[in-house]
Structure 1
Amino acid sequence: MDSQSKTNRFLMQATLGADAELQQQVARQGISDWLEQQLNMAPLASDLFQNSTENIWHYFRTRLKNEYGEQAINGEGNNPALPYKWYFHMAWWQHALSDNNDYLRQRVAQALSEILVISDNSVLELDAVGMGSYYDLLYRHAFGSYADLLQDVSMHPCMGVYLSHMNNRKANPAEDIHPDENYAREIMQLFSIGLYELNSDGRRKKDKQGRDIPTYDNRDIKQLARVFTGLKAHSYQYEWRTSFWQPEYNGYQVGFNDGIDKTYKTVPFVNMTQAMKVDESYHDRGSKTLLKGHIKLAAGRSGEQEIAAVVKRLVAHPSTAPFIARHLINQLVTSNPSPEYIKAVAKQFGPEGNLKKAVREILTFPLKNTVAVKRFSSARKEDNTLVQSQKMKSPLMRVTQLMRAFKVSNNSGKKWLCGDDIQAMLTMHPLSAPTVFNFYKPDFVPHGALADANLVAPEFELHTSATSIAYVNLMYYWFFGNYWPAVSTVINQTAGIHNVPELDPEVLKNYRNDKLKGDFRRYIAMAEEVSQQDEMIDELALLLTGRSQPALKQRIQNAIRLYRNKPEWVVQTSVFMLAISPEFVIQEA
């Protein structure tokens, strides 16, 4: 059995959020046993998010069609009803807020989504089902091979559209055609080897002059771009029958030279769930050498063979293991891992990218080792291990942890959060990053003490004067106004808008069966007895911060001093003050 404090701190790293029951269960079972159980658990389904997104889309599609008729929403002289981004949002939240047992897989999939980035802040907003299919890759491979994951990512049409290697053709100088270099650059820079050669502990290698050694140059990008030529969508697919689209077109194979205009060779007119295909006539089959000979491809190989070979060699590159190890550690545990921590995780990741071993090491290393080099004055010893502040929780992690802690639910069972209200206030939502570089840069650090100490704090890039106030306001709305994120199960009611769900929180709050609510009954019952209110504060602090917080407890006691006879208000104030406190916002390890 592990201490409740240690367990709760661990679960803040390993899940999207835990309620008191899960915290107590894991403490009784023991962290190690629970972790192994999670790592050995199969995915709930191979196409979980795709199916859920598709079902939600068809729920709305049927209602839009019944209300307005197909002629009004098919895209012929009108704005079409398409599987827009909100349907993936709804599917993601439905799973995140439901009582599934895949806690760790959910958390790792979300972490991977901030490394292998695609975003609906692009034309991908037109195909939520495709984005659900992409998220399934992250969910399915979360404890598998990173090489297999990167292979599937490279061939997925959402990545093909987002980083523009779909419809990429081999060079034809006579027609001024040159391979698109976008994905070739980012698969190296962001998804595998990084910008600079690394030692196994994540520190940069140096040349004889003491300079950083770049992992690749422009020649490597050009060589690799040739590998990703000839890729096209699997087939044509569109939602509606129109004068320009007949049902029999769906499933028809895409061809570079099939006489169909190129505007129909991308979303929303192609299949966005099946892997892209290679047209060998447009694939560069010449020999290729890059990365100082680390990758050598003989002439005459097929496109799929080349892509598979390149992905394996990129993952096997000596810099990939420490590069991905650092990023996963940053996501789950700390912004400033020690070289020893990175080296331990990189060793487990290995040349094939063993994610199960890497995740195990990421989460168990802090249980017995100090995870960072810099020691803060607030550091303390627990179970013979140094524990201190490690990173700011992202806005998404804060809200998922709070909603899961208080078992947020509704009467309809449809936890179909639109996500717009969260994103508008906190500038973050799954698969909605502003660029392929994610929501924040990994080397960001605000001016001041952190910069002076040569530390980084990536999530602080989202913590601006505007978003910090917005977060406090959001917590006030939640806990005092019972104004939780908007859920939509109805079509839009604005005159002239016939193609999307209702998205206005002011309208949606009137649908009482869909309205979210938190479960505070236990704490209100405790607060009804003034003598138990201090115990209640300690219990809430343990739930949300992993331990009692004497200084914060004193501030809460002062705030509720004159209103101790109003139990609901006492609970609201206590939870609100905890939710906006540094003790909750900053993660420890």
Structure 2
Amino acid sequence: MENNKQEAARFLMQATLGADLETINRVAEKGISKWLDEQLDAPLAADDRFAKKTNAIWQSFRKRLVQAYGQDALDGNGNNPALPYQWYFRMAWWDKNLSGKTENLLRHRIAQALSEILVISENSQLELDAVSMASFYDILYVNAFGQYTDILYDVSMHPAMGVYLSHMNNRKADPERNIHPDENYAREIMQLFSIGLFELNRDGSRVKDSQGRDVPTYDNRDIKELARVFTGLKAASYLYEWNTSTFPYNGSTIDFDDGVSKTYKTIPFVDMVKPMVVDPKFHDTGSKTLLKGRINLPSGQSGTRDIRDVVNALVAHPSTGPYIAHKLIQQLVTSNPSPSYVQAVAEAFGDQGDMKAVVKTLLTHPEARQPKKLKSPLLRTTQLLRAFQAKNKSGKLWLTGDDLKESLAHHPMAAPTVFNFYKPDYAPHGPIDNAGLVAPEFELHNSATSIAYVNTMYNWFFGEYYPLVSTKISMTDTNIPELEPDVLFSYKRDQLNLDFSEELVLARRRDFDGLIDRVSLLLNGTAQCEVREDIKTAIANYPRNPKWVVQTVAFLISISPQFAVLDNQQEGAA
């Protein structure tokens, strides 16, 4: 049974954002295969949406803001109005992932992985609309076990992506007025979201031409041709919620009656939740041919038909299956999957991107039991908070995320660019690079973030300075005093606490080996703790202080290489 627990614990590090001991025991008793099938088949409640949670949190702050300061607080009265800034999505994300139902643990993990492939980010104009970002995240969450064709189509039509990669308000060419279609999304849907830069064999190796050179999947002509497909897209509707007639925008003032076409107005003047629509006047209806004739669109098609056909063709392209398979394996299991592993997942992907088959194949492949990768800062954080059942008295796990983003440089939907937080082929100098291997997450692991992580863990476990939670403020500016840590920590009912009740029992008994076994199983996936003797040496002088003993065990394991690296053999870096 002990081996079953260790196998379950390690599996859950891949398949979830973190698991407590109760979950580990349940999976050990049930069996990984049965648990996985139950997760893949679990129905999703109609109201289980990040957008609903985000909007509810935003509306609760909004209502109190108006009650306290009147309508002027929303309108801005000449200043920036109150908007659903990025914090509200962050609050919803943490609340749902820390208190979510156990039947959706796998779905949450896959959605998070997809969010680092199909990237939008709050580090853009999207910071003004948390509900839109949440609605975008719902595409990944709802369709985590659906078809990649549907995911990619919905992503292409979502206004958040339309703003982030600038194909909202994209127009067909008009040479006389020097108007040319925006090429940004056309490039990234190929390079990052589907076929990648080079043609791939089914096992992920690169196709070679007759001279042994890599074969590009597309060229600049393909980008220009594909950009024509994404013309005519605009917001579904235009929303003017604020009573004032002006709004500071791009350094100038926009009047609702300024005579400027509303087509040029985006956030916060447009519906950022409903899918974009196509204005036929601005869509290029000519025939389109790209990717060496793989995609041929006849003239006269509607914009939505063009986009749907292109998405279907991109997903069915021979390179897409291995490209997405490789990225998902890197997210969940190992930085350097074997060709046979990539091929197995790519074949499960098929021509439409069967995500349910992909996830099952990915997590049940023999190589999945031999993981080797550095855990990202986010995954270490979620694993710790979930392992010790983080909670507060208010019952609202509304983490603001500022402290985590600042110290760890990693937070959901906050990548610095569309290329994510780290490159999939990144290799740190030294043994990994010399061996011809990659370790993507090491791009986030530098002298600043590594020290910041240790300091963060020290503050957590010895200062009880856990991630900041807010329920009592209205965040109308990025520099408001109500977001200061001292202010947030003054609200005792909101402060997070970890449940160390079982660990304290062992500490009081002075069963230090039993305590280390328990915490190591939770965090390392094995009772064989590599820093056991260091821990026992550290607690030797204070054996009669159970709380300090537990804090020391949790701290030293949380900063150990064994915890940082997902590695079945526990031999070292990824």
TM-score range for the pair, normalised by the shorter chain length: over 0.9
1:454 aligns with 2:436: yes
Give the aligned partner of residue 83 of structure 1. 84
Q: Which amino acid aligns with 1:446?
A: P
Deviation of 1:464 (Å): 0.7
Residues in 2 aligned to 1:485 and 1:405: alpha-carbon distance in whole angstroms: 15
2:398 maps to which residue?
416
Q: Per-residue CA shift, 1:54-90, capped at 9, x if unaligned? A: 0100111111112222124313411210000000000
Secondary structure of the 1:502 match is helix
One-letter identity of the residue aligned with 1:40: D
- Cα distance in 2, alignment partners of residues 266 and 409 from structure 1: 38
Counterparts of 1:550 and 1:435, CA distance in 2: 37
Counterpart AA for 1:135: Y
Asked if structure 1 preserves the Cα contact closer than 8 Å seen for 2:200 and 2:322, the reply is yes
Per the TM alignment, residue 424 of structure 1 is displaced from its structure 2 partner at its CA by 0.2
Q: Is residue 488–residue 501 contact of structure 1 (8 Å, CA) maintained in 2?
A: no
- RMSD of Structure 2 on Structure 1 (CA): 1.9
C-alpha separation in 1, matches of 2:335 and 2:56: 38
What is the distance in 2 between the residues matched to 1:336 and 1:547?
Answer: 23
1:476 corresponds in structure 2 to 458
Q: TM-score, normalised by structure 1?
A: 0.92
Q: What code does the residue aligned with 2:285 have? A: R
Task: Give how far 1:551 is off.
Answer: 3.4
Q: Which residue is equivalent to 1:555? A: 534
Equivalent position to 1:370, from 367, 372, 392: 367
The match for 2:506 is: 526
Following the alignment from structure 1 to structure 2, what is the Cα–Cα distance between the partners of residues 90 and 244?
30
Conserved 8 A contact 2:489-2:495: yes
Compute the displacement of 1:243 (Å).
2.9
Please give the alpha-carbon distance, in whole angstroms, between the structure 1 residues aligned to 2:243 and 2:432.
58
Structure 1 CA distance, aligned partners of 2:410 and 2:506? 35
Deviation at 1:506, TM superposition (A): 1.3
Query: In 2, Cα distance between the equivalents of 1:401 and 1:408?
Result: 10
Instruction: Give the direction of change, closer, same or farther, for the CA distance of 1:324–1:543 in structure 2 (3 Å limit).
Output: same
Partner deviation per Cα, 1:516-541 (whole Å, 9 max, x = no partner) = 000001101110012x1111111111
1:292–1:99 distance in 2 versus 1, CA, 3 Å = closer
The one-character-per-residue Cα deviations of 1:211-259 (angstroms, maximum 9, x if unpaired) are 00000000000000000000000001144222359xxxxxxxx9xxx96
Residue identity in the other structure for 1:191: F
Show the counterpart of 2:40. 39
Of 153, 160, 163, the match for 1:161: 163
Distance 1:401 1:273 in 2: 31
Superposed CA deviations along residues 486-521 of structure 1, whole A, max 9, x for unmatched, are 10011269xx96997932111100100000000001
Q: Which amino acid in the other structure matches residue 334 of structure 1?
A: T
Instruction: Give the partner amino acid of 1:3.
Output: N
- Secondary structure of the corresponding residue to residue 483 of structure 1: coil
Which amino acid in the other structure matches residue 442 of structure 2? F
1:581 to 551, 560, 566: 560
Aligned-residue sequence identity (percent) comes to: 60
Query: 1:44 Cα shift?
Result: 3.1
Equivalent-residue separation in structure 2 for 1:42 and 1:416 (angstroms): 26
1:544 aligns with 2:523: yes
- Residue matched to 1:350: 350
- For 1:23 and 1:320, the matched residues in 2 are separated by 34
Task: Please give the residue correspondences for 1:192-271 in structure 2 after superposition, counting only pairs within 5 Å.
Answer: 192-243=194-245, 260-262=260-262, 265-271=265-271
Amino acid at match of 2:26: Q
Partner of 2:388: 406
Equivalent residue of 1:562, what SS?
coil
CA distance in 2 between counterparts of 1:497 and 1:228 reads: 34
Q: TM-score w.r.t. structure 2 length? A: 0.94
Corresponding residue of 1:390: 372
Shift of 1:28: 0.3
What secondary structure does 1:3 align onto? helix
Aligned partners of 1:533, 1:47: CA distance in 2, in Å? 42
Question: How many residues of Structure 1 are paired with residues of Structure 2 in the alignment?
Answer: 557
Check conservation: 2:78, 2:246, Cα contact below 8 A. Answer: no
TM-aligned CA distance change 1:188 to 1:111, over 3 Å: same
> Paired residue for 2:96?
95
Shift of 1:262: 4.8
Residue 475 of structure 1 aligns with an amino acid whose one-letter code is M
* 8 Å CA contact 1:405, 1:543 repeated in 2: yes
- Cα distance, 1:455–1:448 mapped onto 2, change above 3 Å: same
Q: Take 1:46 and 1:151, find their aligned partners in 2: how far apart are those partners?
A: 22
Q: Distance in 2 between matches of 1:172 and 1:300?
A: 18
CA gap 1:117/1:550 in 2 versus in 1, 3 angstroms: closer
Q: Does 1:134 align with 2:136?
A: yes
Cα displacement string for residues 544-589 of structure 1 (whole angstroms, at most 9, x for unaligned residues): 1011235311111111111111111110000000000011100124
5+ unaligned residues in a row in structure 1: which ranges?
246-253, 372-384
Contact 2:390 2:499 in 1 (8 A): yes
CA distance in structure 2 between the aligned counterparts of 1:263 and 1:79, rounded to whole angstroms: 22
Assess, with a 3 A threshold, how the Cα gap between structure 1 residues 238 and 264 changes in structure 2: closer, same or farther: farther
Give me the whole-angstrom Cα distance separating, in 2, the residues matched to 1:238 and 1:400.
38
Change (3 A) 1:167 1:25: same
Aligned to 1:378: none
Partner residue, 1:510: 490
Letter in 2 for 1:401: Q
1:11 maps to which residue? 12
Query: Corresponding residue for 2:331?
Result: 331
Once the two structures are TM-superposed, the CA of residue 45 in structure 1 deviates from its matched residue by 3.3
AA at the equivalent of 1:508: L
C-alpha distance in 2, partners of 1:278/1:497? Answer: 34
What is residue 464 of structure 1 aligned with on the other side?
A: 446
User: Per the alignment, in what secondary structure is the counterpart of residue 105 of structure 1?
Assistant: helix
Question: How far apart are 1:130 and its partner, in Å?
Answer: 0.5
Matching residue of 1:251? none
Letter of the 1:548 counterpart: A
* Aligned residue identity for 1:268: P
1:170 aligns with 2:172: yes
SS at match of 2:499: coil
* C-alpha spacing 1:46/1:170, structure 2 compared with 1 (3 Å): farther
Deviation at 1:42, TM superposition (A): 2.1
Is contact 2:208-2:214 (8 Å) kept? yes
Q: Per the alignment, in what secondary structure is the counterpart of residue 37 of structure 2?
A: helix
Change over 3 Å in CA distance of 1:459–1:25 after alignment to 2: same
Q: Which residue of 2 aligns with 1:55?
A: 56
**Residue in 1 aligned with 2:276?**
276
- Give the AA of the match of 2:46: A
TM-aligned CA deviation for residue 353 of structure 1: 0.2
Amino acid at match of 2:268: P
2:497 partner amino acid: K
Hey, what's the Cα distance between the residues in 1 that align with 2:264 and 2:283? 21
CA shift digits 1:458-502 (9 cap, x unpaired): 100010101000000000011111110010011269xx9699793
- Per-residue CA shift, 1:105-142, capped at 9, x if unaligned? 00000000000000000000000000110011000000
Checking the alignment, whether the CA contact within 8 Å between 1:64 and 1:499 is kept in structure 2 is no
Contact 1:491 1:500 in 2 (8 A): no
- What's the secondary structure of 2:372's corresponding residue? strand
Output the amino acid matched with 2:520: A
